[in-house]
Structure 1
Amino acid sequence: MTSTLDPTDAAARAAAPLAAAETAEAPRVVPPRRRTTRSRIARVVLYVVLAGCAVVFTYPFVWLVSASFKPRSDVFDNLLIPKNFTFENYLTIWQEAPIGVWLINSAIVTILAAVTVTASSAMVAWGFAYFRFRGRGALFALVIGTMMLPGAVTMIPTFLIWNGLGATGTLTPLWAQNLFGSAFYIFLLRQFFLGLPRELFEAARIDGANNWRIFTRVALPLCRPALAVTLLFELQASWTDLMRPLIYLRDSDTFTVPRGLKSLLDQFGFGGEYHWEIIVTASVITTVPMIILFFIGQKQFVDGIATTGTKG
């Protein structure tokens, strides 16, 4: 028995999948103009949030600068533009305290501490990153483990050592400890050294360079951003350090800026009536150098933070 296929039915069956595909919901395509509008709105929101964060972070310093130009009675009036503008606070601070000597002492300590800890930490980090020796991992873990020790644990033994050496009352204990490196900076620089191609060092060795020349001529120039981060971190830490100057310094001629601010707070705070106009003025004088330093090294700082910790 033969059956004939109706041409009409065959055409209907062939068109059925096409009709189903046409009736299926097509993906929504966002017009380019709408996408541009959304991106602009998101960008505006981002800028508003960043501007708000900038205001929150900069307001304390702006308030501090404004208060330094106010008389004592107007320090806490919360007006950013002083009603009674005066330079007397800056004249008083230079007359009542040897703040110039304190700035010089802080500069000496800060520069020596930053340079020594950067150099020593870089050498130790290079040793852990480049050389292969037995027990390297355990020794590095021991170095990192020292970061878990609170400063109060080593404070008295360290003081006894410097006192035995006759260095108390001088600036030496404030920076000489950095000759032995810092565990945090060693870790930071080691991660950067590990990201450098080892083939560069092997090529330098084939050309006849020894370990010291490889370190100074090849490795160090390639890790300038990480060195800049270490240098800036230590500059800020040493400039604002108060604990060690409180322990080791006794004479006002050897005071650093934080120790000098503490003495000013004690000097102008007798009877519970603090001369806050003097305190805020001294704070402005000591804060401005760090702001200038950050703007000078901003590019290297950002590059170092962005690239440190990546391992190739």
Structure 2
Amino acid sequence: MNNKQIKNLKEISVLPLKVKLLIALKYGFLIGLTIVFLIPLVWTLSGSFKPSGRIFTLPIQWIPATFHWENYANLLDRFPFFRFALNSLVLVGFNMVFTIISSLLVAYGFARFRHPWNQKLFIFVLATMMIPPQVTLIPQFLIFSKLGWVDSYLPLIVPNLFGNAFNIFLMRQFIMGIPRSLDESAYMDGANSFKILTKIIVPLCMPVIITIGVFTFNSNWNDFMGPLIYLSTQAKYPLQLALYTLDAGRQGITDFGMLFAASIVALIPPMFLFVFLQKHVMAGIKIGGSIKG
């Protein structure tokens, strides 16, 4: 245990009994919720080491008697996993770059440039978050169809060139917490707005940039509906849509063991990304969401 943990334990030890009980109940409730949310993941992980015929047996055998590693071997032999994962990485890479750049530019404009319509335009941008995606689904498809973009990655990438309302809000709040005196000093040294953005704002905004990058990675890596609507060539499928081809509707008999193994492997990149960057993500959300504008 480190010094901080020891200090926290000492502080708890001197609290009244009623407060200690409330803390115990709070943590017990959180631990219980964690266990409930982990049950599907543990079941999927357990099923990935079983033959298909023994996954749905009752009572559930949480720890397989024999670990069938062939589910993972079959995944690589019978399923072009790395090809589909590469497609997902292409989509994720472009969307992360475009989303971060476009959201940063718009947020910088709202945070640093003043004009009569600034606040009204910002409220209008935030209002777009209240529009359900189902409302714009058909109009978007018709537009992209007229442009001849169906069965390409363009409908899944181009919209990110225009920013995202939530990301713009998060970045704007973060930038507003950066003292304007830094901008003024840079202006006196002859720097223009673009140089201030790249040399001052961007380095200081790394926590929120990483946060948005992680959110964008997760949303695009796990996106199923967009590729399902716009892609028809199987070779272009990203990983989440390609997993659908393992279903019985496509190949007649579902190999659930291999399907569960594929689901676990597909979960690894976003999970590790969040684990390694969670400090930056928490800092970006805490600072960006706590600054009033």
Q: TM-score range by the shorter chain?
A: 0.7 to 0.9
> Is 2:289 the counterpart of 1:309?
yes
> Is 2:42 the counterpart of 1:62?
yes
Q: 1:155, 1:108 → 2: CA distance?
A: 23
Task: Give 1:20's aligned residue.
Answer: none
Task: Give 1:27's aligned residue.
Answer: none
User: How many angstroms does 1:153 deviate by?
Assistant: 2.5
CA contact (8 A) 1:66 1:81 kept: yes
Q: 1:169, 1:211 → 2: CA distance?
A: 40
For the aligned residue pairs, the C-alpha RMSD in angstroms reads 2.4
Q: 1:33, 1:232 → 2: CA distance?
A: 35
- Choose which of 80, 83, 89 in structure 2 pairs with 1:98: 80
- Choose which of 153, 156, 176 in structure 2 pairs with 1:174: 156
Matches within 5 A, 1:3-152: 35=14, 38=17, 47-77=27-57, 78-152=60-134
Matches within 5 A, 1:248-263: 248-263=230-245
Task: Give 2:217's aligned residue.
Answer: 235
Alignment identity in percent? 36
- Choose which of 262, 273, 293 in structure 2 pairs with 1:282: 262
Q: 2:197, 2:52 → 1: CA distance?
A: 56
Task: Give 1:299's aligned residue.
Answer: 279
Q: Kindly tell me: are residues 52 and 150 of structure 1, through their superposed partners in 2, closer, same or farther at Cα, counting changes over 3 Å?
A: closer
Structure with larger Rg = 1
Per-residue Cα deviation, 1:249-285 (whole angstroms, up to 9, x for no partner): 1111100011111222245663xx6432232121111
CA contact (8 A) 2:245 2:251 kept: no
Q: 2:289, 2:15 → 1: CA distance?
A: 36
Task: Give 2:6's aligned residue.
Answer: none
Letter in 2 for 1:124: V
Instruction: Tell me the number of residue pairs that the alignment of Structure 1 and Structure 2 aligns.
Output: 279
User: How many angstroms does 1:91 deviate by?
Assistant: 2.3
CA contact (8 A) 2:12 2:20 kept: no
Moved more, 192-201 or 161-170: 161-170
Q: 1:49, 1:254 → 2: CA distance?
A: 44
CA contact (8 A) 1:69 1:87 kept: yes
Structure 1 regions of 5+ residues with no counterpart?
A: 1-31
Task: Give 2:142's aligned residue.
Answer: 160
User: How many angstroms does 1:48 deviate by?
Assistant: 4.0
User: How many angstroms does 1:205 deviate by?
Assistant: 0.9
Q: 1:159, 1:187 → 2: CA distance?
A: 27
SS of 1:308's equivalent? helix
- Choose which of 195, 199, 204 in structure 1 pairs with 2:181: 199
